């Protein structure tokens, strides 16, 4: 039987000698074509006889030899030679790949891991492993090393700079909560055990790639930003300033397109802090420091010498609004990141409703008694589903994510325990920016209104209140997602209108609880201003106070919720226990939508 060439080429190896016995299917020669070697396979078992020599050129299907069957033997069964290649053999190329991946893992770096653990911290890989669903991480660039080949040996770089100090890839997060088809997430973490988590030229390129993947897949990004900013020690680049780096451009462009989650532990300075500040939400652990310049930059600028712990400590950054959520440690920060991302991945598959009857008792009958608006929020939405953001900043306002029958929504509210619920500059910024966030990612907004209006006075005007409060009007009026307003008590003046998107007619529904009261300004102020002459005409203080209270009561009767509803300035006055059913019906009827926003304000 003829042995034929599989294609045109040159015979480069005859693996079987003339007269050698081979088995069917074994490789007996190699033909080179276009720099590739192709197997010539024995069509049957037997003894080989060649008609070509090494170096001969052959054409496709040409006979290059023959096989004669061995007398008394089956032509296709005996294993006569060891020519056939099997899968049971060593592969140095595979061994090298496996080893290169292994040396970058935590278990191959025990000293670095121990040092990290001794400080009560987790490694970058430990945080990512905790964040993502088991077995789902597909890491990008794990074999990359720092761009320092001109000053260090490759073996040293492989051992000391695994992944160039940035671990990242594509994974699933919250697959059990929202389903695997909605769980895709891009994750990245600077590795502080590698060159103090600094930003090297190679890990910048890795971030570029990950941000590109996030845009293509429209997947949320979670980034752990611990590190000291730009790295001066890289030597392998061709540039000068590095200002043509596109990582910051591409990451900023993701704002408003996909949810961006930043997690800060330890020191987060310069470029690392810049990425953190671009995020929709900043989660920081106790003891974190966040600053646009670290100690070296400050000292280099002639501004003095400071310890890193003096720059942007957590107690400063949580009060000024930089930090949205505070976590006790790395594990708690990861848990918060998972929870936050979940609100933007769609409805939860399971949920539990609280007892709605309790809502009837949240607001006191005494209209002058303060109360906790968070009791209303927690009592209305799914059990354990409320996540409040920026609670230490703009304390007169509440911004939170929550779920109702598993559906994620945004929640804003006045807090009557701070300035009586009046809106100041910080509170206005806090709510306006949160509304943008909800609008960009398609979350309906539920607004709990209890405000005497905008804050007033010379001191607050020094904070540029006119501009800040107007952000609420401009943002609320241009929401593309549904807005529902629930007036729990006071709805006075411009502040109330701003909380409703500009008017009682702006929301999908404007509802009030029986304790609701409405007016152009607070009742007491309206009486003192509008009836000043009448009050001053009463000499006796007791009688004057009685007249004042009579006028307030009269205005209250005129402006209380049922009166306002009778003029159809609002849609209804409802039993607080029916609020949840109202919201479920309204949100179920509303089409899914989100704004085509170019970005979400970082502030």
Q: How many helices and strands (H and E) does the chain possess?
A: 21, 25
Q: In DSSP terms, which residues pair with 37 in a beta bridge?
A: 32
Mean pLDDT of all residues in 485-491: 97
pLDDT over threshold 80, residue 523: no
Alpha-carbon separation of residue 590 from 217, 348, 506, 594 (angstroms): 26, 18, 15, 12
In a domain, 93, yes or no: no
What's the CA gap between 70 and 245, in Å, rounded?
Answer: 70
Is 338 in the same domain as 482?
Answer: no
Is 195 in the same domain as 331?
Answer: yes
Choosing from 30, 50, 68, the residue where a domain stops is 68
> Could you read off the pLDDT of 399-443 as tens digits, one per residue?
999 999 999 999 999 999 999 999 999 999 999 999 999 999 999
Is 457 in the same domain as 583?
Answer: yes
Q: Which residue has the higher pLDDT, 240 or 206?
A: 206
* pLDDT attached to residue 555: 74
Mean pLDDT of all residues in 72-98: 62
pLDDT over threshold 90, residue 142: yes
pLDDT over threshold 60, residue 80: no
* pLDDT attached to residue 556: 75
Is 264 in the same domain as 362?
Answer: no
Beta-carbon neighbour count of residue 144 at 10 Å?
20
Query: Long-range CB contacts (< 8 A, 24+ apart) of 531-534?
Result: none
Q: How many CA atoms lie within 13 A of 219 on its CB side?
A: 25
**Residue 51 backbone phi and psi in degrees, to 5:** -115, 5
E strand or H helix that includes residue 588: helix 579-589
Q: Give the 3-state secondary structure of residue 423.
A: strand
Question: If we measure between CA atoms, which residue out of 433, 482, 468, 456 comes closest to residue 597?
Answer: 433
* pLDDT attached to residue 73: 52
**Residue 548 pLDDT class (50, 70, 90 cuts):** confident
**CATH code for position 106:** 3.90.226.10
In a domain, 350, yes or no: no
Q: Which residue has the higher pLDDT, 269 or 229?
A: 269
In a domain, 244, yes or no: yes
* pLDDT attached to residue 549: 81
Is 109 in the same domain as 243?
Answer: yes
Tokens of 447: 């607004």
> Could you read off the pLDDT of 42-55 as tens digits, one per residue?
999 999 999 999 99
Is 509 in the same domain as 567?
Answer: yes
483-510 as b/e: b if 16+ CB within 10 A: bbbbbbbbbbbbbbbbbbbbbbebbbbb
* pLDDT attached to residue 88: 56
> Could you read off the pLDDT of 239-294 as tens digits, one per residue?
777 788 888 999 999 999 999 999 999 999 999 999 999 999 999 999 999 999 98
According to DSSP, residue 397 is labeled: E
C-alpha 86, offset from chain centre:
48
What's the CA gap between 376 and 448, in Å, rounded?
Answer: 9
**Residue 85 pLDDT class (50, 70, 90 cuts):** very low
The structure's pTM equals 0.87
Per the structure, the complete domain to which residue 182 belongs is given by 98-343
pLDDT over threshold 90, residue 175: yes
């Amino acid at each position: 039987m003829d042995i034929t060439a599989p294609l045109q080429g040159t015979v480069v190896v005859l693996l079987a000698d003339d007269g050698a016995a081979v088995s069917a299917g074994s490789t007996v020669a190699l033909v080179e074509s276009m720099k590739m070697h192709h197997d010539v396979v024995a069509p049957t078992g037997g003894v080989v006889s060649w008609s070509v020599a090494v170096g001969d050129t052959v054409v496709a299907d040409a006979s290059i030899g023959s096989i004669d069957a061995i007398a008394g033997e089956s032509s296709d069964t005996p294993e006569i030679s060891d020519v056939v290649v099997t899968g049971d053999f060593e592969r140095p190329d595979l061994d090298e790949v496996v080893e290169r991946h292994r040396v970058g893992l935590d278990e191959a770096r025990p000293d670095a891991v121990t040092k990290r653990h001794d400080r009560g911290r987790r490694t970058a890989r430990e945080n990512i492993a905790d964040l993502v669903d088991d077995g789902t991480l597909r890491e990008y660039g794990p074999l990359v090393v720092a761009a320092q080949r001109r000053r260090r040996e490759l073996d040293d770089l492989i051992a000391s700079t695994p992944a160039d100090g940035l671990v990242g890839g594509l994974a699933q997060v919250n697959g059990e909560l929202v389903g695997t088809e909605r769980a895709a997430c891009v994750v990245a973490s600077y590795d502080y055990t590698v060159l103090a988590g600094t930003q090297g030229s190679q890990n910048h390129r890795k971030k570029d790639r990950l941000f590109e993947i996030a845009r293509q897949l429209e997947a949320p990004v979670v980034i752990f930003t611990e590190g000291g900013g730009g790295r001066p020690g890289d030597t392998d680049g061709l540039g000068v300033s590095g200002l043509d780096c596109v990582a910051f451009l591409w990451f900023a462009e993701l704002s408003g397109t996909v949810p961006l989650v930043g997690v800060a532990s330890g020191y987060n300075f310069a470029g690392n802090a810049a990425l953190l500040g671009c995020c929709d939400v900043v989660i920081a652990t106790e003891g974190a420091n966040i600053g646009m310049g670290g100690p070296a930059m400050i000292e280099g600028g002639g501004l003095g010498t400071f310890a890193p712990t003096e720059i942007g400590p957590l107690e400063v950054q949580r009060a000024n609004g930089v930090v949205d959520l505070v976590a006790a440690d790395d594990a708690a920060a990861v848990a918060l990141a998972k929870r936050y991302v979940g609100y933007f991945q769609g409805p939860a598959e399971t949920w539990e409703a609280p007892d709605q009857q309790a809502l009837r008792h949240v607001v006191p009958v005494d209209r002058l008694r303060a109360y906790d608006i968070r009791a209303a929020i927690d009592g209305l939405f799914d059990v354990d589903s409320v996540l409040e953001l920026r609670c230490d900043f703009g304390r007169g306002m509440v911004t939170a994510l929550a779920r109702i029958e598993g559906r994620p929504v945004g929640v804003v509210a006045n807090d009557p325990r701070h300035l009586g619920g009046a809106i100041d500059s910080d509170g206005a910024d806090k709510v306006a920016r949160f509304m943008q966030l909800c609008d960009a990612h398609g979350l309906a907004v539920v607004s709990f209104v209890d405000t005497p209006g905008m804050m007033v006075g010379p001191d607050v005007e020094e904070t540029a209140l006119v501009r800040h409060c107007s952000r609420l009007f401009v943002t609320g009026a241009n929401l593309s997602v549904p807005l529902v307003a629930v007036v729990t008590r006071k709805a006075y003046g411009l502040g109330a209108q701003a909380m409703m998107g500009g008017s009682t007619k702006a929301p999908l529904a404007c509802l009030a609880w029986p304790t609701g009261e409405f007016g152009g300004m607070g009742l007491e102020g309206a009486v003192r201003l509008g009836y000043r002459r009448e009050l001053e005409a009463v000499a006796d203080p007791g009688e004057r106070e009685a007249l004042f209270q009579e006028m307030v009561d009269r205005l209250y009767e005129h402006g209380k919720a049922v009166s306002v509803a009778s003029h159809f300035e609002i849609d209804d006055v409802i039993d607080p226990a029916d609020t949840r059913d109202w919201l479920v019906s309204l949100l179920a009827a509303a089409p899914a939508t989100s704004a085509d926003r170019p970005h979400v304000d970082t502030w």
